Amino acid sequence: MSTRFPKLLLLVGSLIALLSLVGACSQPAALPTVPPGIPTEVPLLPTIAPPPPAAEVKIVNFSFQPAEVRIKPGQSVSWTNEDSAQHTVTGSGFDSGLLSKGQQYIHVFNQTGTFDYHCSVHPQMQGKVIVQE
Ligand SMILES: [Cu+2]
C-alpha cells in the first residue's frame, strides 16, 4: 500500500502534466491564426473577374468625357451614362445599346488602333479610344 501511493501520485502527476501540455498545445490553435482583414482563402486559379477598366468615360451633358482615352491592348473602357437622356456607345465592332441614367457599359479592346465611336441617338456625340502598346 505504501508503495502504490507514490506510483499513483506519479501517475496522477504525469497525467496532469500531460493534460496541461495538451492544453498548452491546443490553446494557440483555438486563437485566430490570421489577423482579421487578411483573406484566409487563397484562390488556386486566377480570378475569373476581369480587371477594372483602364479608362472611365462619363456621358454627361450629351458628351463623352473625356472624349478621348488611351489604353493598352487587352484593357477595357467603361462608359457610364450620367444624363437623364438615353445614349449609346456605338463604334466599329461594339455597341452598348441604349444606356439609361446610371447604366454602365464596358468593352475590352484587344487590338491596337484608333476606335471612333458615337451615340446612335445623337450622332454629334463623338469619342475616341486609342489602343496602343
Ligand atoms: Cu446620346
Angle at 107 (CA atoms; ends 103, 99), nearest 5 degrees: 25
CATH code for the structural domain at 55-131: 2.60.40.420
* Position 43 confidence tier, pLDDT thresholds 50, 70, 90: low
Q: Is the confidence at residue 126, as pLDDT, over 90? A: yes
Q: Count Cβ atoms within 10 A of the Cβ of residue 122 and give its class: 0-12 exposed, 13-18 middle, 19 or more buried.
A: middle
Angle at 66 (CA atoms; ends 63, 70), nearest 5 degrees: 135
Q: Structural domain boundaries of the chain?
A: 1-35, 55-131
Cα of 48 vs centre of ligand 1, distance in Å, is 32
**Which residue would you say has higher pLDDT here, 18 or 78?**
78
pLDDT at 44: 65
Cα of 111 vs centre of ligand 1, distance in Å, is 26
Cα of 110 vs centre of ligand 1, distance in Å, is 25
Cα of 101 vs centre of ligand 1, distance in Å, is 11
Q: Is the confidence at residue 130, as pLDDT, over 60? A: yes
**CA atoms of 69 and 71, how far apart (whole Å):** 7
Cα of 129 vs centre of ligand 1, distance in Å, is 17
69-118 pLDDT, tens digit each: 999 999 999 999 999 999 999 999 999 999 999 999 999 999 999 999 99
**Which residue would you say has higher pLDDT here, 103 or 41?**
103
**Which residue would you say has higher pLDDT here, 22 or 128?**
128
Q: What is the mean pLDDT of the chain?
A: 81
1-15 pLDDT, tens digit each: 444 555 544 444 454
Q: Which residues surround ligand 1, an ion (CB under 5 A)?
A: 87, 119, 121-122, 125
